[in-house]
């Protein structure tokens, strides 16, 4: 069936027509195979829209080319018009003759008119090759899985459940509560941590949330919005339903082992509850130390339990759940400071970590909040804190494998919290710091308050802690007071180290299973550190709290609330899949797997020795297209046929003397060019744009084709590497053009400077003028290609081409 194309050219009330001779443009289109070319004063106005509808009806048009302002203004509106008329929205193209033409060539009406004609002709050729594209919609499983039951996970799952969405909460320990439940008080308000957290634990227990403790994610399958997650639950050996938490098992259990809840400061029974408000409120048996599991004897707990809850034959369980979204709230672990030999941690009992100090300060802790020296139980009079004990250790340092380069963010403040609590017990406190970091009013006030209570601050990091020569249990800390540049020595009873915050153990494996990228410090990487901090790089997977990096409880909670709402939104609507993906032409694919290697989204798999692209994962970056030696990959919206037709249409019949074809990245660079237009930047009218997701999508053959059809120079304008929508492709574009330059020079005897690469940042739109001026001048100097040269290139192109047949 013949395609019925209509073209409209907008005057924009003179904005376009004062420079571009629109009548001439319309006239020049006479030769094209179109139904009509009409001129409108304001194409976006109601009367023009009405007119458009009328003509569509009258002439039976099935596709439109609109020469007007930037598509970022009205494309959506025009697409609606088409939709109403029953035409697929992929069958309208907007050709920008205002920002990219009339406004930037005010000094050159003739050139602008020629350029507008070429652009519209290119658009017509392109739309001929366009095919209807459907936006797919998929149903999302209306459930959310939260991993990690610290404060972040607790808040997130409560919010999800409140919104009436089914929620699973998975925690690897026997109880939820995370680290916060270990603290006696929290900064900056110094309220009782357990008093504010315990009710929340109860809320989880009483809510519809499906809690699974002692559990971790074993495996994940399925696709975006419809994950299948396999959970592995360790045996508890005590029946949750039956246990009345009377504690008899713990009382009678004969084995004592290290109590991790009190960070090794005391011992607990092998049958235990980590803390009394634990949720679920039941005991657990730790098989690692239990006599029954070691030697097959004992079973005292089983005999003593009046509720008959002990089941020593309990086993690992697996469960599979379906979920639409996942929130990662896996929190932190502290760095093991025994690696930093200088601090004597693990060698001298009176050197503690901050977490141990939290436990010691707690009324329910190992010493019921008496502060004593672990070496001899004597009471403590003086404590020194070492801040940055391993944090802010640059990787270039002499001991590269020690510590972490980043600031752990919370130690400056929690050390002050502990100092205040110690001061209240009349203990002398010396905080050794590099910088006290307390941004924000509340926190600076807190610092002020700490000073008021007589806590001593010394700027100067401790690097040496020594037992007194007579080894009486006290420790000598030696440091420089950096404010007076004198050495000081101080004999103290306890030293508290504030070690780095690390991503919790197992985060890396979990991230691998979920294919969620991590940042350089192995925390979960945000989708965008500023504009999308609660999403991960994988759609439908969110993160909150310390899982993405060190932060205080307030920020953790805000993030948890936000992530919960994002997850709720995500699972509450159908998911739209834009028709901008790459796809495989199976007849061409030889199963070489090159595309799989390059795809940054892991969107490509092999099924029956043919590559298959997953629409849900593909971002449409185009990287895989030129890599395929068999031309087996093409793209929706930017198909090979469309691009070649547009190249030819723009160049072949042009009356302009010199033509530079510019492939522009369609988001950021295109916008920069729009701003240049609005700002009436002036640059040569020889340049003609073709927008693309990234220049990494371009094959060498297109470049040959452009030169063969009349281009005298070709330019790649690429988005900045990190900030653009498809970073990996933006990065690769530069390498690709270098390769092409080499081939042009070596194999086609073409001056490689006719191919130019530049990166454009949006705010740097002025650079466009410089870039175009100098490239134009260069091409003028080189002169146009000869017909002979073009003919040869055309031959080379047609010999080398192996065009896939599009439906």
Partner 1 sequence: MSKTIRLDSTEAAKFAAKIQERSGEPIDMCFQCGECSSACPVSSDMDLMPSTLVRFTQLGLKDELINAKTIWVCASCFHCVTRCPKGIDIAKVAEALRQELLRKKLDYVEVRDLSMEERQEIPQIAIISNLRKFSR
Partner 2 sequence: MKIPYFPGCSLKTIGEGFEKSAIASAAILDFELEELPRWVCCGTVSSLTTDDLMHHLAPIRNLIRVEDIKETQLVTLCSVCYSTLKRSNALVKNDPEKLKTMNQFMDKENEYQGSVKVLHFLELLREMGFDKIKEKVKKPLRGLTLSPYYGCLLVRPKEFGIDNPEDPTILQELTKALGADVIDNPYQLKCCGSYHTVDKPNLVADLGYKILTYARNSGADALVLSCPLCAFNLDNRQREIKRQYPDFVEIPILYFTQLMALAFDLGEEKLGFDIHYVDPVPLLKEKQLLIDSLPLIKEK
Ligand X SMILES: Cc1cc2nc3c(=O)[nH]c(=O)nc-3n(C[C@H](O)[C@H](O)[C@H](O)COP(=O)(O)OP(=O)(O)OC[C@H]3O[C@@H](n4cnc5c(N)ncnc54)[C@H](O)[C@@H]3O)c2cc1C
Residues contributing to the site for ligand X (CB under 6 A):
147-153, 170-173, 178-180, 183, 186-187, 216, 329-332, 354-355, 358, 410, 414, 417, 504, 506, 510, 545-547, 551-554, 556
Alpha helices, DSSP H, located in 182-265: 193-206, 248-252
SS (H, E, C) 138-198: ECCCCEEEEECCCHHHHHHHHHHHHCCCEEEEECCCCCCCCCHHHCCEECCCCEEHHHHHH
The one of partner 2, partner 1, ligand SF4, none whose footprint includes residue 801, by CB under 5 to 8 A per kind, is: none
From residue 72, alpha-carbon distances to 76, 367, 412, 578, 673 in Å are 8, 66, 48, 17, 12
* DSSP letter assigned to residue 30: G
3-state SS string over 7-53? EEEECHHHCCCCCCCHHHHHHHHHHCCCCEEEEECCCCCHHHHHHHH
Nearest distance, CB of residue 772 and partner 1, angstroms: 40
Q: Nearest CA to 90 among 704, 778, 580, 784?
A: 580
**Min CB(726)–ligand X separation in Å:** 30
The CA radius of gyration of the chain, in Å to the nearest whole number, is: 34
Residues 292/293/295/296 CA torsion (nearest 10 deg): 50
Does 515 bind ligand SF4 (CB under 6 A)? Our answer is no
In the window 352-391, what residues touch partner 1 (CB under 8 A)? 388
- Which residues in this chain contact partner 2 in the complex, by CB under 8 A? 340-342, 344, 347-348, 398-399, 465-467, 469-471
Rounded to a whole number of angstroms, the minimum distance from the CB of residue 408 to ligand SF4 is 4
From the list ligand SF4, partner 2, partner 1, none, pick the one residue 24 interacts with, judged by a Cβ distance below 5 to 8 Å according to partner type.
Answer: none
The binder of 412, among partner 2, ligand SF4, partner 1, none, by C-beta within 5 to 8 A per type, is: ligand SF4
Q: Does residue number 619 form part of the binding site for ligand SF4 (CB under 6 A)?
A: yes
Calpha distance 59→69 (Å, rounded)? 25
Residue 471 in contact with partner 1, rule: CB under 8 A: no
Between 144 and 344, CB nearer to partner 2: 344
Triad 655, 659, 662: Cα angle to 5°: 135
Structure tokens at 74: 């009205």
500 lies in the binding site for partner 1 (CB under 8 A)? no
- Minimal CA–CA distance to 418: which of 373, 362, 502, 473? 362
What does 393 interact with, of partner 1, partner 2, ligand SF4, none (CB < 5 to 8 A by kind)? partner 1
> Please, what is the minimum distance in Å from the beta carbon of residue 399 to partner 1?
6
CB hemisphere CA count around 451 (13 angstroms) = 9
For residue 312, count other CB atoms closer than 10 A to its CB: 16
Q: Does 347 bind partner 1 (CB under 8 A)?
A: no
Question: CA 554 to CA 414: how far, in whole Å?
Answer: 13
Binder of residue 482, out of partner 1, partner 2, ligand X, none (CB less than 5 to 8 A by kind): partner 1
Residue with tokens 């087996």: 632
The one of ligand X, partner 2, ligand SF4, none whose footprint includes residue 470, by CB under 5 to 8 A per kind, is partner 2
For residue 57, the partner it binds in ligand SF4, ligand X, partner 1, none, with Cβ less than 5 to 8 A by kind, is none
Residues between 444 and 473 with contacts to ligand SF4, criterion CB under 6 A: none
**Sole binder of partner 1 in the list 337, 366, 460, 579 (CB under 8 A):** 460
Closest of 297, 695, 337 to residue 500, by C-alpha: 337
- Among the candidate windows 33-41, 162-170, 187-195, 404-412, which touches ligand SF4 by CB under 6 A? 404-412
Among 117, 262, 302, 393, binds partner 1 (CB under 8 A): 393
Residues whose CB falls within 8 Å of the CB of residue 204, separated by 6 or more in sequence, listed in order: 149, 154, 157, 158, 169, 176, 211, 279
- Choose among ligand SF4, ligand X, partner 2, none what residue 619 binds, the Cβ cut-off being 5 to 8 Å by kind: ligand SF4
Taking the complex as a whole, the smallest distance from the CB of residue 729 to ligand SF4 amounts, in Å, to 7
In the list 498, 534, 647, 703, the residue contacting ligand SF4 (rule: CB under 6 A) is: 498
Q: Which residue has the tokens 């991993």?
A: 147
Find the distance separating the first CA and the last CA of the chain, reported in whole Å: 14
Give the one residue of 403, 550, 620, 693 binding partner 1; rule: CB under 8 A. 403
In contact, 168 and 208? CB cutoff 8 Å: no
Binding site partner of 603, from partner 1, partner 2, ligand SF4, none, Cβ cut-off 5-8 A by kind = ligand SF4
User: Please, what is the minimum distance in Å from the beta carbon of residue 437 to partner 1?
Assistant: 13
Q: What is the β-pairing status of strands 332-334 and 351-353?
A: unpaired
Q: Quick one: DSSP state of residue 500?
A: P
Question: 5-10 and 63-68: which strand pairing?
Answer: parallel
Which residues make beta-bridge pairs with 271?
285
Out of partner 1, ligand SF4, partner 2, none, what residue 348 binds, judged by CB under 5 to 8 A for its kind, is partner 2
Task: Give the nearest distance from C-beta 345 to partner 2 in angstroms.
Answer: 11
Locate 53 and state its tokens.
Answer: 């509808």
Shortest separation between residue 271's beta carbon and ligand X, angstroms: 20
478 binds, among partner 2, ligand X, partner 1, none (CB under 5 to 8 A by kind): partner 1
Asked whether position 589 contacts ligand SF4 by CB under 6 A, the answer is no
Reduced DSSP (H G I as helix, E B as strand, rest coil) percent helix, strand, coil of the chain, to 5:
35, 25, 40
Q: How far apart are CA 364 and CA 355, in angstroms?
A: 14
Nearer to ligand X, 6 or 178 (CB): 178
Taking the complex as a whole, how short is the minimal distance between the CB of residue 481 and ligand SF4, in angstroms?
13
d(CA 748, CA 756) in angstroms, rounded, equals 17
How many residues at the interface with ligand SF4, by CB under 6 A? 25
Return the number of the residue (262 or 391) whose C-beta is nearest ligand SF4: 391
Binding site for partner 1 (CB under 8 A): 342, 388, 392-394, 396-399, 403, 434, 459-464, 478-482, 485-487
Binding site for ligand SF4 (CB under 6 A): 387-388, 391-392, 407-409, 411-412, 435, 437, 498, 582, 599, 601, 603-604, 613, 618-624
């Amino acid at each position: 069936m013949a395609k019925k194309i209509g073209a409209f050219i907008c005057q924009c009330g003179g904005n376009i027509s004062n420079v571009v001779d629109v009548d001439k443009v319309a006239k020049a289109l006479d030769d094209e195979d179109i139904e009509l070319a009409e001129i409108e004063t304001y194409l976006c106005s109601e009367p023009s829209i009405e007119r458009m509808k009328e003509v569509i009806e009258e002439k039976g048009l099935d596709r439109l080319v609109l020469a007007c302002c930037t598509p970022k203004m009205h494309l959506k509106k025009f697409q609606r018009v088409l939709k109403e008329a029953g035409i697929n929205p992929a069958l309208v193209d907007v050709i920008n003759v205002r920002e990219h033409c009339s406004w930037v060539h005010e000094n050159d009406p003739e050139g602008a008119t020629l350029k507008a004609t070429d652009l519209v002709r290119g658009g017509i050729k392109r739309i001929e090759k366009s095919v209807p594209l459907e936006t797919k919609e998929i149903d999302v499983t209306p459930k959310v899985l939260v991993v990690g039951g610290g404060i972040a996970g607790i808040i997130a799952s409560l919010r999800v459940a409140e919104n009436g969405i089914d929620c699973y909460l998975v925690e690897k320990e026997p109880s939820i509560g995370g680290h916060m439940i270990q603290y006696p008080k929290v900064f900056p308000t110094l309220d009782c941590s357990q008093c504010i957290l315990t009710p929340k634990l109860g809320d989880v227990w009483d809510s519809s949330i499906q809690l699974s403790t002692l559990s971790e994610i074993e495996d994940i399958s399925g696709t975006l919005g419809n994950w299948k997650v396999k959970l592995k639950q360790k045996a508890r050996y005590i029946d949750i339903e039956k246990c009345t938490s009377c504690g008899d098992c713990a009382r009678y259990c004969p084995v004592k082992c290290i109590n991790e809840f009190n960070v090794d400061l005391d011992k607990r029974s092998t049958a235990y509850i980590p803390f009394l408000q634990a949720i679920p409120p039941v005991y657990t048996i730790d098989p690692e130390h239990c006599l029954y599991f070691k030697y097959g004897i004992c079973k005292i707990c089983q005999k003593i339990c009046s509720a008959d809850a002990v089941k020593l034959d309990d086993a690992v369980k697996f469960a599979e759940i379906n979920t639409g979204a996942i929130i990662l709230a896996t929190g932190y672990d502290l760095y093991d400071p025994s690696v930093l030999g200088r601090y004597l941690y693990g060698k001298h009992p009176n050197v503690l970590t901050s977490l141990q100090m939290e436990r010691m300060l707690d009324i329910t802790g190992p010493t019921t909040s008496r502060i004593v020296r672990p070496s001899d139980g004597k009471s403590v009079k003086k404590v020194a804190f070492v801040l940055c004990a391993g944090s802010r250790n640059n990787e270039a340092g002499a001991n590269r494998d020690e510590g972490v380069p980043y600031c752990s963010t919370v130690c400056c403040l929690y050390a002050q919290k502990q100092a205040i609590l110690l001061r209240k017990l009349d203990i002398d406190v010396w905080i050794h710091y590099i910088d006290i970091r307390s941004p924000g009013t509340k926190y600076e006030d807190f610092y002020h308050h700490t000073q008021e209570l007589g806590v001593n601050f010394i700027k100067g990091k401790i690097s040496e802690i020594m037992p007194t020569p007579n080894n009486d249990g006290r420790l000598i800390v030696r440091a420089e007071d950096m404010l007076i540049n004198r050495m000081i020595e101080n004999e103290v009873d306890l030293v508290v180290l504030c070690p780095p915050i690390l991503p919790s153990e197992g985060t890396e494996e979990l991230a691998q299973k979920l294919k969620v990228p991590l940042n350089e410090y192995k925390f979960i990487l945000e989708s965008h550190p500023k504009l999308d901090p609660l999403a991960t790089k994988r759609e439908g997977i969110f993160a909150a709290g310390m899982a993405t990096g060190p932060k205080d409880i307030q920020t953790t909670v805000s993030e948890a609330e936000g992530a919960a709402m994002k997850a709720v939104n995500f699972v509450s609507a159908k998911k739209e899949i834009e028709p901008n993906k790459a796809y495989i032409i199976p007849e061409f694919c030889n199963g070489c797997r090159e595309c799989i290697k390059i795809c940054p989204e892991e969107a490509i798999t092999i099924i029956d020795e043919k590559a298959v692209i997953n629409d849900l994962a593909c971002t449409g970056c185009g990287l895989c297209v030129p890599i395929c030696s068999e031309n087996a990959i093409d793209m929706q919206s930017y198909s090979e046929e469309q691009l070649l037709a547009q190249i030819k249409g723009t160049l072949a019949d042009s009356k302009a003397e010199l033509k530079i074809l510019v492939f522009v990245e369609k988001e950021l660079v295109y916008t920069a060019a729009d701003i240049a237009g609005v700002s009436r930047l002036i640059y040569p009218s020889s340049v003609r744009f073709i927008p693309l997701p990234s220049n990494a999508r371009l094959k060498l053959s297109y470049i040959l084709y452009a030169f063969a059809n009349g281009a005298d120079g070709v330019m790649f304008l690429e988005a900045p590497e990190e900030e653009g929508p498809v970073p990996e492709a933006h990065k690769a574009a530069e390498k690709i053009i270098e390769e092409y330059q080499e081939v042009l020079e070596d194999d086609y005897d073409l001056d490689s400077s006719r191919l130019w690469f530049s990166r454009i940042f949006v705010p740097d739109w002025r650079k466009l003028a410089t870039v175009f001026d100098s490239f134009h001048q260069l091409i003028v100097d080189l002169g146009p290609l000869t017909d002979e040269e073009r003919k040869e290139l055309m031959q080379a192109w047609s010999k080398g081409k192996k065009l896939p047949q599009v439906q």
